[in-house]
Amino acid sequence: MPTFAKSPAARAMPHRQLAAGPIVWIGIIAVTCLLLVLFQYVLWLIVPVMIAIVAYYILSPLVDVGVRRGLTRARAVIIVTILLTLFLILLGLIFAPKVSATIDNLPQTISEYTHTANTLFANAQRTLSKKAPMLVSAPVAANTSVLSAPANGQPAPTTAPAAPGEIVTNVADLQARYSGDVLMEAARWVPSLLLVPCITYFLLLDGPRFKRFIVQAIPNAFFEKTLYLFYRVEDQLRRYFQGLMALTFLDALCLGIGLWIFGLHEPFLLAAIAAVMAWVPYLGSICGGLLVVLVAAHDFPDPRYAWLPYEVVFLFIGVRMLDDFIFLPLTVGRSLHVHPLVTMLMFLLGGAVAGIAGLLLVMPVLGVVMVAGQIIGELLTDERILARHRHAQYLRRKRARVDLFDGADADVGL
């Protein structure tokens, strides 16, 4: 398994685990769910901030390299930002012709893949009807009605049942019905995503300064422990995103090797896309799997390779099993010191509470809330620290009233 380079925070902090009782854990789960519900309404801000934080953790080591070489932090950040911009422009120049060609041929590509999907479904039905006829008895009209139902909740239009094997009856109709919604949704997200480079730049430039600004507001009695909290949270987030990158790499590698053995075109690119889609658990995994199977069916239409899509399905399921039971708990789950069972349950809870947004955000939110909750739990149950804080308040109030009661010690309301 990949081992993560220890950050200064990780090296500086003790290895002891913070003990959290059942009440603290109930609080952690409740706060996580509440935050997920709230974040749904400001997703347009949360998603760019999350992407910016990921970019911050990826680019921070580059900024540190610049600082190590004698640059000021500001200059190092500017240079890294310029280099990143040039890199993205270069990527754009390399991939723009391909993307442009794909967009030009998009209707034809969609039709081809739709036809491939129909053929695949028809072949699957035929195979099933031969091997297990009792499973294939009802017409497939129900499938088409789900796909042709409008997005606004209106009842599905009554159409004649489609012929067996026809998954999508009218691609043009679907495009006409939903393309406007898709474009509006995309237009809504573009301004949000433009925030990403801006937020990343200021996180890199002023992150430490901002942290110091926040710490100034903390009372003296809680100062050391709260700073410890900040370092733990930061280290937790860093390890989570490192874990996520490691997981994505492992997924892409395993799937890519399998697809390469099967002989698919651009196996590792396809595997990388499926691995990134798997960031949205369950739904993203399913969509990624469908994509891979469709590409396999499209690239090998010859009847001699009729079984290839099914082999790809088994490969995909195998990689997902590896992912869910071995890679995920050992990378993302281990980085957050969360029990694998808790990891899986939180994914289910996150999805139930906040849908897709919940699935995507549950682990980073849980990581932060967990560390914050454990430290706050420790602070609030430490009678000595609370007593020191009250003592400091008493001293300040006493000084503030020293000439207001003829110098006598007055009850300062403690």
Partner 1 sequence: MLFGLPQTTSPRLQLLKNVVLFKDLSMRELAMVNSMMHERRYIADEVIFDQGEEGQGLFLVLSGRVKITLPAHVDQVLIELGPGAFFGEVALLDSSIRTAQARALEDSQIVALFRTEFYSLLDTHSAIASRISFQLAKVLAARLRQTVVNAARIQHHEAA
Q: Which residues bind partner 1 (CB under 8 A)?
A: 8-9, 11-14, 64, 67-68, 72-75, 78, 208, 212, 215-216, 220-221, 223-224, 227-228, 231, 384, 388, 391-392, 395-396, 399
Compare residues 239 and 298 and give the one whose CB is closer to partner 1. Answer: 239
CA distance 31 to 40: 14
CA distance 327 to 258: 17
Compare residues 55 and 76 and give the one whose CB is closer to partner 1. Answer: 76
Compare residues 46 and 80 and give the one whose CB is closer to partner 1. Answer: 80
CB 148 → partner 1: shortest distance, Å? 56
Compare residues 49 and 67 and give the one whose CB is closer to partner 1. Answer: 67
CB 8 → partner 1: shortest distance, Å? 4
Compare residues 70 and 133 and give the one whose CB is closer to partner 1. Answer: 70
CB 372 → partner 1: shortest distance, Å? 17
Written as six digits, the tokens of 265 are 């075109």
CB 236 → partner 1: shortest distance, Å? 14
Q: Nearest CA to 25 among 345, 402, 400?
A: 345
CB 36 → partner 1: shortest distance, Å? 30
Cβ contact 203:56 at 8 Å? yes
The number of beta carbons lying within 10 Å of the beta carbon of residue 361 is 21
Compare residues 152 and 216 and give the one whose CB is closer to partner 1. Answer: 216
Compare residues 44 and 213 and give the one whose CB is closer to partner 1. Answer: 213
Compare residues 11 and 98 and give the one whose CB is closer to partner 1. Answer: 11
CA distance 92 to 114: 28
CB 64 → partner 1: shortest distance, Å? 5
In whole angstroms, how far apart are CA 351 and each of 1, 152, 275, 331, 354? 28, 22, 19, 21, 5
CB 3 → partner 1: shortest distance, Å? 17
CB 338 → partner 1: shortest distance, Å? 23
CA distance 368 to 336: 9
In whole angstroms, how far apart are CA 405 and each of 278, 392, 396? 68, 20, 15
- Sort 258 into a burial class: Cβ within 10 Å, 0-12 / 13-18 / 19+: buried
CA distance 368 to 32: 9
CB 381 → partner 1: shortest distance, Å? 15
Compare residues 115 and 388 and give the one whose CB is closer to partner 1. Answer: 388
